[in-house]
Amino acid sequence: MTGKAYLLAIAMLAAAGCSGGLKRFAPPGIVKYEELAKGQPVNPAIAARIEAYQDESAGGFPNLSEQPQKTPEGIAAPERSAMEAALLAERDALNEAIEADKHLAAAERDASIETAREALEDALARDDALARRERGLPLRDVEDKRDVEEETD
């Protein structure tokens, strides 16, 4: 349907008298004029909001004669420079920590994992041999992979 068809349908619904039933689509908590007219009790939170809004001090244009005529005093120059120096020192410390972390991460990426792999293989072989001795099993005849790799080169 086009926009004209929607407008026509809404106009027909309004003319038919069923537009009064549209209030049921209003979200809960909204004070409806019909509720106030019937004398039904109003939600206390909503009534408090209405009273606060209608209060003189709760809005409106400010009285400029009651406003301060001069700006408040700022921070003294020595105190401001001390605060600035402290913030700059904290910034420098943070930047140094970031650079150190970047260098550490780069070193971890560049480091060869061969030594860690070899240490892990040695620890695994020792643990395997110890476990086999405890269980009374014969030791495995496993050739060292590094020796095999060296022979093939």
Average pLDDT over residues 21-26: 62
What is the mean predicted confidence (pLDDT) over 142-149? Answer: 52
pLDDT attached to residue 66: 80
Q: CA-CA distance, 8 to 14, in Å (whole number)?
A: 10
The pLDDT tens digits for 25-61 are: 666 666 555 555 566 667 788 778 777 777 666 566 7
The Cα 27–Cα 20 span in angstroms is: 15
pLDDT tier at 148, thresholds 50, 70, 90: very low
Q: Could you give the C-alpha distances from 12 to 4, 7, 74, in angstroms and in order?
A: 12, 9, 65
- Residue among 85, 97, 89, 145 at smallest CA distance from 117: 145
**Residue 72, CA distances (Å) to 39, 54, 68, 69, 106 in order:** 51, 32, 9, 9, 51
- Going 42 to 46 to 52 to 54, the CA torsion angle's sign is negative
Rounded average pLDDT over 94-100? 98
pLDDT(11) > 90:
no
Tokens of 12: 């027909």
Report yes or no on whether pTM surpasses 0.75.
Answer: no
Name the more confident of 37 and 126. Answer: 126
Q: State how far the Cα of 16 lies from the Cα of 117, in Å rounded to an integer.
A: 84
Of these ranges, 37-46, 106-115, 124-133, the one predicted with the greatest mean pLDDT is: 124-133
Q: What is the mean pLDDT of the chain?
A: 78
Q: What value, to the nearest 5°, has the Cα angle with vertex 150 and ends 149 and 153?
A: 90
Going from N- to C-terminal start, the domains of the chain cover 77-111, 112-142
